[in-house]
Amino acid sequence: MNIPTQTNDVESRISPDSDEGSSCLSRRNVILGAAAVVATISLPKKSLASTPLSMTDQPSKNNHGKDDHMNSTTDIPETAQTFDPTNFTVVPARMFDDLRVGEIFRAPSRTLTDAHATAFQAVSADNHPIHYDVEYARRHGHTAPVVHGLQVLAFTAPGATLFPQYIGDVFIAFTEASCKFLKEVHAGDTLYSALEIIALTPQGDNGQVTTRATIHNQHGELVLSGEHKYLLRRHT
Protein backbone atom coordinates (compact mmCIF):
# COMPACT_ATOMS: atom_id res chain seq x y z
CA MET A 1 0.00 0.00 0.00
CA ASN A 2 1.27 3.46 -0.89
CA ILE A 3 0.95 5.97 1.96
CA PRO A 4 0.75 9.53 0.65
CA THR A 5 3.19 11.93 2.22
CA GLN A 6 2.21 15.42 3.40
CA THR A 7 2.82 18.04 0.75
CA ASN A 8 1.54 21.44 -0.32
CA ASP A 9 0.57 20.07 -3.70
CA VAL A 10 -3.23 19.75 -3.92
CA GLU A 11 -3.01 16.70 -6.11
CA SER A 12 -0.81 14.90 -3.55
CA ARG A 13 -3.66 15.01 -1.02
CA ILE A 14 -5.56 12.43 -3.05
CA SER A 15 -4.48 8.84 -2.64
CA PRO A 16 -3.88 7.04 -5.93
CA ASP A 17 -5.37 3.88 -4.35
CA SER A 18 -8.69 5.57 -3.47
CA ASP A 19 -11.67 4.64 -5.55
CA GLU A 20 -13.22 7.13 -7.95
CA GLY A 21 -15.93 8.26 -5.49
CA SER A 22 -13.44 8.89 -2.70
CA SER A 23 -11.17 10.73 -5.10
CA CYS A 24 -13.98 13.06 -6.20
CA LEU A 25 -14.98 13.65 -2.59
CA SER A 26 -11.40 14.48 -1.60
CA ARG A 27 -10.98 16.85 -4.51
CA ARG A 28 -14.21 18.62 -3.57
CA ASN A 29 -13.15 18.99 0.05
CA VAL A 30 -9.81 20.46 -1.00
CA ILE A 31 -11.49 22.93 -3.36
CA LEU A 32 -14.04 23.98 -0.73
CA GLY A 33 -11.30 24.41 1.83
CA ALA A 34 -9.29 26.60 -0.52
CA ALA A 35 -12.38 28.68 -1.33
CA ALA A 36 -13.03 29.22 2.38
CA VAL A 37 -9.48 30.46 2.88
CA VAL A 38 -9.81 32.89 -0.03
CA ALA A 39 -13.17 34.15 1.25
CA THR A 40 -11.75 34.69 4.74
CA ILE A 41 -8.81 36.66 3.39
CA SER A 42 -11.13 38.78 1.19
CA LEU A 43 -13.52 39.81 3.96
CA PRO A 44 -12.96 43.33 5.34
CA LYS A 45 -12.02 43.64 8.96
CA LYS A 46 -15.38 45.19 9.81
CA SER A 47 -17.45 42.82 7.75
CA LEU A 48 -21.21 43.01 8.21
CA ALA A 49 -21.19 39.24 8.40
CA SER A 50 -19.22 39.40 11.64
CA THR A 51 -20.96 42.45 13.11
CA PRO A 52 -23.89 41.67 15.43
CA LEU A 53 -27.13 43.63 15.12
CA SER A 54 -27.38 46.64 17.37
CA MET A 55 -30.18 46.85 19.88
CA THR A 56 -32.08 49.21 17.60
CA ASP A 57 -31.76 46.79 14.70
CA GLN A 58 -33.21 43.87 16.60
CA PRO A 59 -36.99 43.64 16.93
CA SER A 60 -38.06 43.51 20.56
CA LYS A 61 -40.25 40.78 21.97
CA ASN A 62 -42.18 42.78 24.55
CA ASN A 63 -45.67 42.21 23.20
CA HIS A 64 -46.31 38.70 24.47
CA GLY A 65 -43.44 37.39 22.43
CA LYS A 66 -44.49 39.16 19.23
CA ASP A 67 -42.35 41.65 17.33
CA ASP A 68 -43.17 45.25 18.20
CA HIS A 69 -42.57 46.12 14.53
CA MET A 70 -45.79 44.30 13.70
CA ASN A 71 -47.90 46.53 15.95
CA SER A 72 -46.05 49.82 16.30
CA THR A 73 -47.36 52.99 14.63
CA THR A 74 -44.19 54.94 15.20
CA ASP A 75 -42.97 54.14 11.67
CA ILE A 76 -46.09 55.63 10.02
CA PRO A 77 -45.53 59.21 8.82
CA GLU A 78 -47.59 61.79 10.62
CA THR A 79 -49.08 62.98 7.32
CA ALA A 80 -50.55 59.51 6.75
CA GLN A 81 -52.38 59.65 10.07
CA THR A 82 -53.91 63.07 9.29
CA PHE A 83 -54.59 62.50 5.55
CA ASP A 84 -57.60 64.42 4.25
CA PRO A 85 -58.80 63.24 0.83
CA THR A 86 -60.58 66.55 0.22
CA ASN A 87 -57.17 68.26 0.16
CA PHE A 88 -55.65 65.78 -2.30
CA THR A 89 -55.22 67.80 -5.50
CA VAL A 90 -53.15 67.37 -8.66
CA VAL A 91 -52.36 71.08 -8.86
CA PRO A 92 -53.09 74.04 -6.55
CA ALA A 93 -56.71 75.20 -6.78
CA ARG A 94 -57.34 78.53 -8.49
CA MET A 95 -60.24 80.97 -8.52
CA PHE A 96 -61.71 82.89 -11.44
CA ASP A 97 -59.79 86.01 -10.43
CA ASP A 98 -56.54 84.01 -10.41
CA LEU A 99 -56.77 83.26 -14.15
CA ARG A 100 -55.03 85.42 -16.75
CA VAL A 101 -55.66 86.07 -20.43
CA GLY A 102 -52.95 84.41 -22.49
CA GLU A 103 -52.54 81.34 -20.29
CA ILE A 104 -52.26 78.13 -22.33
CA PHE A 105 -53.25 74.65 -21.22
CA ARG A 106 -51.92 71.85 -23.44
CA ALA A 107 -53.10 68.25 -23.70
CA PRO A 108 -50.74 65.30 -24.29
CA SER A 109 -50.29 64.53 -27.98
CA ARG A 110 -52.02 61.46 -29.35
CA THR A 111 -51.78 59.45 -32.55
CA LEU A 112 -55.13 58.48 -34.02
CA THR A 113 -55.69 54.86 -34.99
CA ASP A 114 -58.46 52.84 -36.65
CA ALA A 115 -59.41 51.67 -33.17
CA HIS A 116 -60.31 55.24 -32.21
CA ALA A 117 -62.57 55.51 -35.27
CA THR A 118 -64.24 52.21 -34.42
CA ALA A 119 -64.85 53.31 -30.84
CA PHE A 120 -66.33 56.62 -32.00
CA GLN A 121 -68.55 54.81 -34.52
CA ALA A 122 -70.00 52.74 -31.68
CA VAL A 123 -70.74 55.86 -29.64
CA SER A 124 -72.02 58.12 -32.43
CA ALA A 125 -73.77 55.47 -34.59
CA ASP A 126 -72.33 57.26 -37.63
CA ASN A 127 -71.79 54.50 -40.19
CA HIS A 128 -71.11 56.59 -43.28
CA PRO A 129 -68.50 54.82 -45.46
CA ILE A 130 -66.45 58.00 -45.84
CA HIS A 131 -65.13 57.20 -42.36
CA TYR A 132 -64.54 53.45 -42.76
CA ASP A 133 -64.34 52.42 -46.43
CA VAL A 134 -60.92 53.02 -48.03
CA GLU A 135 -62.09 52.55 -51.61
CA TYR A 136 -65.16 54.71 -51.12
CA ALA A 137 -63.01 57.50 -49.67
CA ARG A 138 -60.59 57.31 -52.63
CA ARG A 139 -63.39 57.42 -55.18
CA HIS A 140 -64.57 60.63 -53.57
CA GLY A 141 -61.23 62.40 -53.63
CA HIS A 142 -59.77 61.49 -50.24
CA THR A 143 -56.45 59.77 -49.68
CA ALA A 144 -57.90 57.67 -46.85
CA PRO A 145 -61.03 57.43 -44.69
CA VAL A 146 -61.69 60.73 -42.95
CA VAL A 147 -61.79 60.85 -39.16
CA HIS A 148 -65.10 62.15 -37.81
CA GLY A 149 -65.07 65.90 -37.31
CA LEU A 150 -66.78 65.54 -33.95
CA GLN A 151 -64.14 63.03 -32.96
CA VAL A 152 -61.44 65.56 -33.75
CA LEU A 153 -63.33 68.22 -31.78
CA ALA A 154 -63.42 65.82 -28.83
CA PHE A 155 -59.63 66.15 -28.66
CA THR A 156 -60.17 69.68 -27.34
CA ALA A 157 -61.96 68.37 -24.25
CA PRO A 158 -60.74 70.55 -21.37
CA GLY A 159 -60.36 67.45 -19.21
CA ALA A 160 -57.48 66.33 -21.44
CA THR A 161 -55.54 69.31 -20.04
CA LEU A 162 -54.86 70.38 -16.44
CA PHE A 163 -57.28 73.32 -16.72
CA PRO A 164 -60.22 71.60 -14.92
CA GLN A 165 -57.82 70.46 -12.19
CA TYR A 166 -57.12 74.10 -11.38
CA ILE A 167 -60.73 75.34 -11.38
CA GLY A 168 -62.59 72.19 -10.31
CA ASP A 169 -63.79 73.68 -7.01
CA VAL A 170 -65.45 76.67 -8.70
CA PHE A 171 -66.53 75.11 -12.02
CA ILE A 172 -70.25 75.40 -12.81
CA ALA A 173 -70.73 74.44 -16.46
CA PHE A 174 -69.21 74.04 -19.92
CA THR A 175 -71.65 76.35 -21.70
CA GLU A 176 -70.54 76.67 -25.32
CA ALA A 177 -68.29 75.15 -27.99
CA SER A 178 -67.75 76.07 -31.63
CA CYS A 179 -65.11 75.24 -34.22
CA LYS A 180 -63.99 75.18 -37.84
CA PHE A 181 -62.51 72.09 -39.46
CA LEU A 182 -59.57 73.33 -41.49
CA LYS A 183 -57.79 70.12 -42.58
CA GLU A 184 -58.73 66.48 -42.93
CA VAL A 185 -57.51 64.10 -40.26
CA HIS A 186 -56.71 60.44 -40.98
CA ALA A 187 -55.69 57.43 -38.96
CA GLY A 188 -51.96 57.73 -38.30
CA ASP A 189 -52.04 61.48 -37.76
CA THR A 190 -50.76 62.81 -34.44
CA LEU A 191 -52.78 65.62 -32.91
CA TYR A 192 -51.61 68.37 -30.56
CA SER A 193 -54.43 70.24 -28.82
CA ALA A 194 -54.31 73.34 -26.64
CA LEU A 195 -56.64 75.80 -24.91
CA GLU A 196 -55.67 79.47 -24.58
CA ILE A 197 -57.61 81.88 -22.37
CA ILE A 198 -58.68 84.79 -24.59
CA ALA A 199 -61.31 86.46 -22.40
CA LEU A 200 -62.35 86.66 -18.75
CA THR A 201 -65.78 88.20 -18.22
CA PRO A 202 -67.08 88.82 -14.66
CA GLN A 203 -70.82 88.21 -14.28
CA GLY A 204 -71.75 89.13 -10.73
CA ASP A 205 -70.86 86.27 -8.42
CA ASN A 206 -69.77 84.22 -11.42
CA GLY A 207 -67.35 84.63 -14.29
CA GLN A 208 -67.15 83.42 -17.87
CA VAL A 209 -63.89 82.03 -19.26
CA THR A 210 -63.46 81.96 -23.03
CA THR A 211 -60.68 79.84 -24.50
CA ARG A 212 -59.42 79.44 -28.03
CA ALA A 213 -59.20 75.75 -28.88
CA THR A 214 -56.63 74.64 -31.44
CA ILE A 215 -55.43 71.33 -32.84
CA HIS A 216 -52.32 70.92 -34.98
CA ASN A 217 -51.09 67.80 -36.73
CA GLN A 218 -47.58 66.36 -36.95
CA HIS A 219 -46.83 68.56 -39.97
CA GLY A 220 -47.51 71.75 -38.02
CA GLU A 221 -50.80 72.33 -39.84
CA LEU A 222 -53.76 73.79 -37.97
CA VAL A 223 -56.54 71.25 -38.48
CA LEU A 224 -59.13 72.76 -36.10
CA SER A 225 -59.78 76.16 -34.54
CA GLY A 226 -62.62 77.04 -32.23
CA GLU A 227 -63.77 78.44 -28.91
CA HIS A 228 -64.97 77.10 -25.57
CA LYS A 229 -66.83 78.96 -22.84
CA TYR A 230 -67.04 77.93 -19.19
CA LEU A 231 -68.96 79.39 -16.26
CA LEU A 232 -67.17 79.58 -12.92
CA ARG A 233 -68.05 80.80 -9.46
CA ARG A 234 -65.92 83.71 -8.35
CA HIS A 235 -65.97 82.55 -4.74
CA THR A 236 -66.01 79.10 -3.14
Contacts of residues 154-157 at CB distance under 8 Å and 24 or more positions apart, as own/partner, are: 154/120, 155/107, 155/110, 155/191, 155/193, 155/215, 155/224, 156/107, 156/193, 156/195, 156/213, 156/214, 156/215, 156/224, 156/226, 156/228, 157/107
Q: How much of the chain, in percent, has pLDDT values that exceed 70?
A: 66
pLDDT tens, 181-236?
999 999 999 999 999 999 999 999 999 999 999 999 999 999 999 999 999 999 87
Distance CA 70, CA 230 (A): 52
What is the pLDDT, as a whole number, of residue 86? 82
* Polymer length of the chain: 236
Domain 96-233: give its CATH code. 3.10.129.10
Q: Computed over its alpha carbons, how large is the radius of gyration of the chain?
A: 37
Distance CA 224, CA 159 (A): 18
* Per-residue pLDDT at 168 exceeds 70: yes
Distance CA 13, CA 22 (A): 12
Q: 63 pairs with which residues across the strands? A: 66
Distance CA 169, CA 233 (A): 9
CA-closest candidate to residue 170, choices 232, 228, 230: 232
pLDDT tens, 79-125?
557 898 888 888 999 999 999 999 999 999 999 999 998 899 899 99
